[in-house]
Amino acid sequence: MPGNYRPPKTAVTPQQLYRLIHAIYVMLDDGDRRVLREFNLTLSQYRVLRRLDREKGQRLTTLSRRLLFAKSTITRIIDQLESEGLVQRTLDAEDRRAWRVVLTPAGEELLTRAREAHERAVQERLNGAFDSEEGREQFSALLRTLHDYLVEDLRARKSNHRTG
C-alpha cells in the first residue's frame, strides 16, 4: 500500500462521541480523586472549597444551585467540612434567617496546597496530549462550542419545564 493511503472515513455518531467524552471524563475524574486523596478530600468537597474561596462565602442554596448538588448533598458536604474545621457557618448579614458558609484559615491553607497539586497533575496529564499550542487551541475551541451549546440547551430545557 502507498504511504499516503487513508482508510475511508466513517461517520461518527453522537453516541460514539458521548462514549468517548464519558471515557475521558472517567479518566480525568480518577486522576483528580488520586490527587485529592492525598489531602483527604473528595472531589465534591474540593469543588465546594474552590467555590467558597472564589466567592468569599456563600449561602447553602447558592452553593447547591451553582454546583448542581441537591440541597441535602450540599448540607452533608458542609457538615463534613465543618467537622474538619475547614469551613464555618456564619449568619448572613443581609438576611439573618440565612447562613453563609466561609472558609476557615485551615480551609484556605488546605485549599491552596490541594489546588497547587491538582494544577500540577492536570498539567502533567494534559501536556503530552497535543503536538502544538495550535492543536490545544483547536481542541479548546471545539470543547467550548460543545460546552456553550449544552449550557444553552440546559437553560432552554429548564425554561420549558417551568412554562410547560
Q: Can you give the residue ranges of every domain in the chain?
A: 14-129, 131-164
Q: What is the pLDDT of residue 145?
A: 96
In tens, the pLDDT along 112-147 reads 999 999 999 999 998 888 888 898 899 999 999 999
* Amino acid identity, position 118: H
Q: What is the pLDDT of residue 163?
A: 66
Q: What is the pLDDT of residue 164?
A: 58
Closest by CA to 43, choosing from 97, 121, 104, is 121
Backbone angles phi, psi at 93, to 5 degrees: -65, -30
Question: Taking 50 as the threshold, does the pLDDT of residue 64 lie above it?
Answer: yes
Question: Taking 60 as the threshold, does the pLDDT of residue 85 lie above it?
Answer: yes
Instruction: Indicate the CATH number for domain 14-129.
Output: 1.10.10.10
